Each structure stands twice: as structure tokens, then as C-alpha cells.
Amino acid sequence: MDTLLQAFEGGVVTGSVYALIALSLVIVYKSTDVINFAGGDILMASCYIALVLLVGWGAPYWLAALVAILGGFVIGAGFDRLVLERIARRARGQDIMIAAVIATIGLSYVLKGLVRMLGYADEVRSLPAQFPGRPLFLGNVIVLRQDIGIVLAASLAVAALYLFFRFTKLGRGLRATAEDPRAAALIGIPVARMRMVIWGIASALAAIAGLLVAPKILMTPDMGIIVILALAASVLGGFTNIPGVIAGGLLLGILENLIGLFVSTQAIAVAPFLVIMAVLVLRPQGLFAGAARMKKV
Amino acid sequence: MRAVWIALALAAAGLVFWMPLYVLYVANLLLMYAVLALGLDILVGLAGQFAFAHMAFFGIGVYTTGLLGNRLGVSFPLPMLAGAALAAIVALLIAIPALRLRQVYLALTTFAFAAAAQWVFHSWDAVTEGSNGLRLAATRVLAWRIVDDRDAYPLLLVVALAMVLLRLSLQSSKLGRSMRALHQSEPLALASGIDARRVKIVAFGISGLFAGIAGGMLPLFNSYVHPDTFGLEGLVAILTMIVVGGLGSTFGVLIGVALIGLLPEVMRDLQVLREVVYGGLLILTVMFLPQGVAGAWRPARA
């Protein structure tokens, strides 16, 4: 029973990080129809920005974290402004989507390559925990302070995002752009700038997720592969349904831990792919949505 | 004019045979990549289906061919044909559920399938030797053993030429034109009486067949294979080849294979830059040369 609860605890913690990354993928997908295969690498690059500031320059943690999150924003917004906007102007229809996805794969490689050249990637490192201290015990379940911090910080980020999209003028403009770009343009919303902001916010969100999870996992230039789990979480949530995606992230985190407990740790690696395939083939609208709807052409 | 170019290319291909072994190894690698990339491009460039499972079919080809050669000592080209047939069958089976999905969802499902397949290559120790990698016995052609790259080159050249011809005849066939129509606009293709479902499934199968043949080419000039060969990195390499060369054009894909395939050899001392260069080329090509190098070479066809 205790091991089960412990697995559950671990699942909720990693699951909330997956949910955060998944959210970053989904808000980009909703407003630009692009799946950002570089999402994990933006996360990775932001973590290395923090590492360079902390280790190389001896900056205080809050400053390093702030610059890392801003760095994420700049990478995302800059990629949209410099690359995606140009693609959208040249190609058309389905070809835009293909070209954009190829560009995100390119970005993923460029970021990995650049980080490897930094000189900080030769040895495996880790970021310091934001919430250090002795672990707490709930019955026999060990709960690290960092774990509580991760869940709280992730919840806070989601709540802030919700309030931003719901109540600020910029947030509403962003939602209108995602809903119907042409109508948004007609009522005077600068659609191109909105897309850029969305890319920036989504990438900053990935950076936050990275800073939260980096103390728990080993940092390597290949850590961006975590995006696979976020993709699986997004698929579970139907890719556009935001509460569903958050639930999908948590569910996936828990599922992963249970598989590790009951099947084998080796099987954990393949689980997200099986989830993606099974859900997309059997229930493409996600676990939590109603019946499938046809998208109008 | 065209005949002159083809004659020159064939003469150059013949000359390679007398080059040092290192050159032959690179040539063999490029021939294999050419078949692999032409196959991926049938699905992505011709039929416009954004599918990512190619390396899985390639792996099925490699392991089938390698195991038939290792354990049964069957003579070339039977193991290669068996590998290609199996890869094509698996591709057809994947196509049936995948066809319910479109665009990004198709990309995600096939990507997930490829990753799961790689996991199988890694974990199925009894067959693939898992992460230790599989030693490949020298290929036999009846009584003759292929021991080095010079032996393998003529065989690989013939196989690659046959596949290029197959691809060219596919492009000019009714099936090839249906694929292009599907790529342009699925509703329009349906309206003009094209059975979109059937064309997509066949495109998957033919693409898998190419990947399987490429897989059968690998054991001819390699004595070892590791599951890492079938990962994301390999996919990005062939994707870069077809995107940089020009999607949907046989000539373009071959140019792309030559350019991108030679990069690692040219950049031998600059390995650190490899990822940045690959990624940067992908981004710059989709930004500035949507039709690839082939499209810049001559005006895009209507």
C-alpha cells in the first residue's frame, strides 16, 4: 500500500511538470496549428541559461531563473517572428504545417548543438532545488519539499495563465486570434504579433517547467526528450481541451510510476508511445472530450 | 542533353569502383541513403502524408536480412527481398489505422510507432541482441563471399539504380499522378474519382518497400548494426535530405542525399557543429527554398 501511495505521489509530481509542458505545446497548437517538436529543447536551453548564470557568473538563483524564463520567451517569440512568419507568408495550406513542423525539428537540433558547444554539457549536472530541506512524512510516504514546491508552482503557473487569458485585454486578444485569426484581424487585433506573444509565453512556460524539474533529473543536452511525455499528455487530453490536457499530464505521471512498479522500469520508456498510438487511433478527440466533431474545412 | 548527363553520371559511378576503399564506403552509404530517402519522399513528397515511421521499416529490413544471412546463410538477394516484403507488409498494416488521422496526428502516431519499434529493437535480446548490437555475417552471393566495400559496391549500385527506375516509373504512372493529386487537395482528388484511401495505403506500402530494400543493402557493407541507427537522428538526416533536395522530385532527393550525406565526411573535424548545421539547413531551406535545391535549379512545375 505504501509503495503504491509513494508511486502515486511521484506520479502527481512529475505529472504536474508534464502538464505544464503539455500546456505550452497546446497553446501553441491552438493558435498556430503547429506542433512544437522543439518544446523540450527550449526547456533544455532555458535550464542551461540558468546553469551558466549560476555556475559561470555566480548569479543569485532568482536572477538566473528570471533570465532563464525570459530567455525561453525570447527563443520562442524570436523563432516565430524570424522563421514561422516567413514560412506562413510563402507556403500555403497543408504545406505551411509541414514546413513549420520541419522548422521546429531544425530548431531542436540547433538548440541542442549550441548548448553542446557551451562547454557546460560535458559533465552531467543538475540545478539546485528551489525548495530544499528535510523531507516530510505522510504516514510512510516520503514527500520532498521540492515535490510540494513543484506541484504548487505548477498550479500557480496554470492559475496565472488562466487569469491572464481570461481577464486581460492582451489575453483576450490572444484567445480571439486562436479562435478565428481572420475575424480577429478584422476587428483590429494584430494577429502576427499575437502569435509571436503566444510562442513567447508558451516557451517561457516550458522554461518554468524545466527549472522545476531540473533539480530532480539529470541535465544533459538531450533532456528535451521529455517533450515526448508532454505530447502523450496532450494527446490524452485531446490536444485542444486545456483542462483535459492538465488531467492527461497527471494521469500520465501516475501511469508511468505504476508501470514502473507493476511491469518493469524498462517498460516505462515505451509507455508514452503506446499511449499516443492507442489514444489517437481509438479516441482521437482525447479521453475527456465528448463525441468527435468534424472540423469544417 | 539529358542522355549526356545520365551517361556522365553512370561513367562517374563506374570510376568510383577503382577509388580507395574509404571512397567506396562513402559511396555505398550514399547509395543506401538514396533508396531510403526516395522511399520516405514517396510518402511525404509525392502523396503529402506527413509520416515519421520510416526508420522502423528500415530497421525491419536490416534485421530480417541480417538474421536470414546470419542464421540460414541464404544467398543474396533473397534475404533482402524478404526484408523488403516484411517491411512493406508492416507498412501496409500501419497505414490502415493511421489513415483515420490527418496531418499532425498522423505525424504523431507514426512517430510513436517508430519509437516503439526502436524500443523493440533495443529490448528483444533473443532476436536483435538488444543494445549489444548485432554482428552481421558476410553476405553470400551463391558461393562468393562479399568481404569489403569494393565487392559490395557493384551490387549496391545495381540495386539503387533499379530503385531509382522504379521510383521514376511510379512518378509517371497513374498511381503516381493520383498521389500528387492527393497532395494538392484531398477533396479535389476525391471529387475526380481517386480512391484516396487506397492510394494512401499503397503509398505507405511502397514507401515501406523502399525502406526495406535500403535495410537489405546495409548488411552488404556493414558487419555490425546497433538499434540506435533507427532513432530520431536517422530520421532527421533523411528528412533533411529530402527537404533540402526538394520534396517530390527524384532528381532533388538524389541531390539532397549527395549534399547532406557528404556533410559528415566534409565536417570530420567539426563534429561539434553537426547538429547546428543540420538544424540550420532545415530551417533555412523551409524559409528560403520551399522547393529545395531542385526547385531553385529550375522553375517549379505547375
DSSP string, B216-232: HHHHHH-SEE-GGGGSH
pLDDT of residue A289: 66
Question: What is the pLDDT at residue B207?
Answer: 95
Q: Grid coordinates in use for B131?
A: 543494445
Asked if residue B284 lies in contact with residue B277, where contact means CB atoms within 8 angstroms, the answer is no
Whether the per-residue pLDDT at B256 is higher than 90: the answer is yes
A88 touches chain B (CB under 8 A): no
Distance from CA of A147 to the nearest CA of B (A): 29
> Is the pLDDT score of A295 beyond 50?
no
pLDDT-based confidence at residue B102 (cuts at 50, 70, 90): low
Contact B282 A277 (CB under 8 A): no
> Dihedrals φ, ψ of B140, to 5°?
-110, 140
Does any CB of chain A come closer than 8 Å to the CB of residue B259?
A: no
What predicted TM-score, i.e. pTM, was given to this entire model?
0.87
Inter-chain CB proximity A112 and B275 less than 8 Å:
yes
Instruction: Give the mean model confidence (pLDDT) for residues B95-122.
Output: 82
- Closest-CA distance, B155 to chain A, in angstroms, reads 34
Q: What are phi and psi of A125, to 5 degrees?
A: -130, 180
Name every chain A residue with its beta carbon within 8 A of the beta carbon of B274.
Answer: 113
Highest mean pLDDT among B9-13, B157-161, B229-233 belongs to B157-161
Whether the per-residue pLDDT at A48 is higher than 50: the answer is yes
What lies within 8 Å, CB to CB, of A119 at 6+ separation is: none
Strand partners of residue B135? B224
Average pLDDT over residues B119-133: 84
Q: What is the reported pLDDT for B138?
A: 79
**The pLDDT value given to residue B302:** 39
A218-228 pLDDT per residue, tens: 888 888 888 88
Q: Do A281 and B101 touch (CB under 8 A)?
A: yes
Alpha-carbon span A285 to A235, nearest angstrom: 8
Asked if A186 reaches chain B (Cβ–Cβ under 8 Å), the answer is no
In which element (H, E) is residue A143 found?
A: strand A141-143
State the pLDDT at residue A281. 80
Residue pair A77/A200 in contact (Cβ under 8 Å)? The answer is yes
B98 vs A contacts (CB less than 8 Å): 281
Share of chain A above pLDDT 90, in %: 27
Asked if B44 has any chain A CB less than 8 Å from its own CB, the reply is yes
Residue pLDDT, tens place only, A7-18: 888 889 989 999
Contact criterion met (CB < 8 Å) for B283 and A107 = yes
- Asked if the Cβ–Cβ distance from A107 to B279 is below 8 Å, we say yes
Confidence of residue A64 (pLDDT cuts 50, 70, 90): very high
- Residue B100 contacts A, CB cutoff 8 Å: yes
Tell me what pLDDT residue B258 has. 92
- Residue B280 confidence class, pLDDT cut points 50, 70, 90: very high
Per-residue pLDDT, A208: 94
Mark out the alpha helices in B42-148 (DSSP H runs). Answer: 54-67, 78-98, 103-123, 125-128
Q: What is the mean pLDDT of chain B?
A: 86
Q: How does residue B143 score in pLDDT terms, banded at 50, 70 and 90?
A: confident
Chain B touched by A292 (CB under 8 Å)? no
CB contact under 8 A, A273 and B113: yes
Name every residue whose Cβ is closer than 8 Å to that of residue B128 and which is 6 or more positions away in sequence: B63, B120, B121, B122, B134, B227
Query: Is pLDDT at A253 greater than 50 in this prediction?
Result: yes
CA-to-CA distance for B97 and B108, rounded, in angstroms? 13
For residues B180-206, give the mean pLDDT: 87
**Residue of B46, B260, B283, B288 best to disrupt the A interface, most CBs of A under 10 A:** B283
In the predicted structure, residue A180 carries a pLDDT above the cut 90: no
Band (A297; pLDDT cuts 50, 70, 90): very low
Closest CA–CA distance from residue A152 to any residue of chain B (Å) = 31
Contact between A297 and B187 using a beta-carbon 8 Å cutoff = yes
**A165 exposure class (CB count in 10 Å sphere: 0-12, 13-18, 19+):** middle
Interchain contact B50–A (C-beta under 8 A): yes
Distances (CA, A) of B181 to B170, B189, B199: 14, 6, 10
Banded model confidence at residue A291, pLDDT cuts 50, 70, 90: low
Give B72 to chain A, closest Cα distance, Å: 31
pLDDT tens figures, B47-100: 888 888 999 999 999 999 999 888 887 888 888 999 999 999 999 998 887 777
The pLDDT value recorded for residue A42 is 96
- Residue B274 at interface with chain A, using a CB cutoff of 8 Å: yes
- Asked if the Cβ–Cβ distance from B272 to A116 is below 8 Å, we say yes
Please say if the pLDDT value at position B301 is more than 50.
Answer: no
Contacts of B40 in chain A (CB under 8 A): none
Percent of chain A with pLDDT over 70: 96
